[in-house]
Amino acid sequence: MEGKVISLTGNVCDIYFEDEIPKIFEALKIELEEKTIYLETQKQLDEHTVRALALGFLQDVKPGQKVKRLYSSLKTPVGEKVLGRVLNVFGEPIDEKEADFDQYEEIHKNSPSISKQSEKIKVYETGIKIIDLLAPFIMGGKVGLFGGAGVGKTVLLMEFIYKTIALYQGISIFAGVGERVREGHELYNEMIKAKVMDKTVMVFGQMNEAPGVRYLTPLTALTICEHFRDKEKKNVLLLIDNIYRFIQAGQEVSTLLGRIPSRVGYQPTLSNEIASIEERITSTKNGSITSVQAVYVPADDMTDPGVTSVFTHLDTSIILSRQRAAQGFYPAMDPLLSHSKLLDPYIVGSEHYEIAKAVKETLSKYKELQDIIAMLGIEQLSPQDRKIVMRARKLEKFLTQPFFVTQEFTGRKGKNVSLKDTILGCKKILSGEMDDVDEQSFYMIGSIDEITI
């Protein structure tokens, strides 16, 4: 059954249907000579007219143009055949290889019911010292990487992909929301070089594409994840870079649809849009989706409504600090601001909890003493405080780590450190066992055993 375009405004068009009108989120298409434009129904204006958002640009479309119904929401290919592929939001390959897919699923779904969700809490070890110790991940949990431009969000995401596949033999799905073409190309080449592309799926909604495309990118990636979790019973890592660009795309879509803006110009449906994605990311009795989401922080303002709307859904928040990056501490995670709901003695065990608490206390005390050191010098501190400063500096350096994905730039071989070795290393530093070792020996090493006393 066909409709026809009756008005066009930017990326939105009103379409008239003689009989039954499409449902909300139903996909439509306009076939032109040289391309096909997909649309998604957003509003039912009356019994004959719908307002649809174009997932492309409408320059060549004129009023009166015929529109076809697809009788379902957009579909994406799923299953083993999508592994190693690079797709766009419509599930079409953009890696110049044949589309030989045989299973498809709709991208708009409800979250699993509570009865199907798993209540087990299991630690997801990343092999990155500072994260495993101070902000551990939950298997099937949601992790936010917060930071401004250039503090290492994408590098950290790439390292997670490498670790998931190399260490856990898992599957990772990467959603590039509003990615620059250069970033996507670099990431693709890195994955091939690291020999992990065959267990990865990449979905891109590029920066130069229509807002509707960028807005739907996480949903396409999430649908592929859900298939691996529910049908193949696998543990999946979903990486979204950048969830803030999804919020921005939603803002553009909202403006195009004529909604009145809310706080700081954000869309009035902001909380609902974030929840529609976040609630689908969960563990079920079959498998889990662990999600790591990079969150751009505009002007480094953590109180921005877009940033705070994501915060409420997260189990672990990793705050990346520009100051730490400038000091050469990589990963540039702020150990005092970052936190995890999992850091509880009943979940991680009393030893891990006590060591993490002692590390935070030592680093916090060092932060307090920094002003005195800057004004009067370290000699003016009491012997006890001097000891705290010395150990804190060693802890800071010990919690740095060379990454596998940066080997060729830094010349340092990537290290994977078990949680047990991280706890042991911190224990030795805090107890004073390493007081005679020069602090520079702790920088960019793996486990404490690499230091020869």
Active site residues: 153, 179-180
Note whether 153 and 319 are within 8 A (CB): no
Burial of 74 (0-12, 13-18, 19+ CB in 10 A): buried
Burial 341-370 (b: 16+ CB within 10 A, else e): ebbeeebbeeebeebbebbbebbeebeebe
Tokens (6 digits) for 327: 């000091």
Rounded distance between C-alpha atoms, residue 26 and residue 277, angstroms: 18
Rounded distance between C-alpha atoms, residue 452 and residue 290, angstroms: 37
Provide the 3-class DSSP secondary structure of residue 206: strand
Tokens (6 digits) for 306: 């877009």
SS (H, E, C) 390-440: HHHHHHHHHCCCCCHHHHHHHCCCCCCCCHHHHHHHHHHHHHCCCCCCCHH
Tokens (6 digits) for 362: 């030592």
Please tell me whether the peptide bond between 268 and the residue prior to it is cis, using omega within 30 degrees of 0: no
Residues present in the chain in total = 453
Rounded distance between C-alpha atoms, residue 194 and residue 410, angstroms: 16
Provide the 3-class DSSP secondary structure of residue 124: strand
Please tell me whether the peptide bond between 331 and the residue prior to it is cis, using omega within 30 degrees of 0: yes
- Amino acid type, 32: L
The CA-based angle 100-102-107, given to 5 degrees, is 110
DSSP string, 44-111: E-SSSEEEEEESS--TT--TT-EEEE-SS--EEE-SGGGTT-EE-TTS-B-SSS------EEES--PP
CA atoms within 13 A on the CB side of 334: 16
Residue with tokens 């949903």: 219
**Residues in CB range of 221: below 8 A, 6 or more apart:** 173, 174, 175, 201, 203, 238, 240
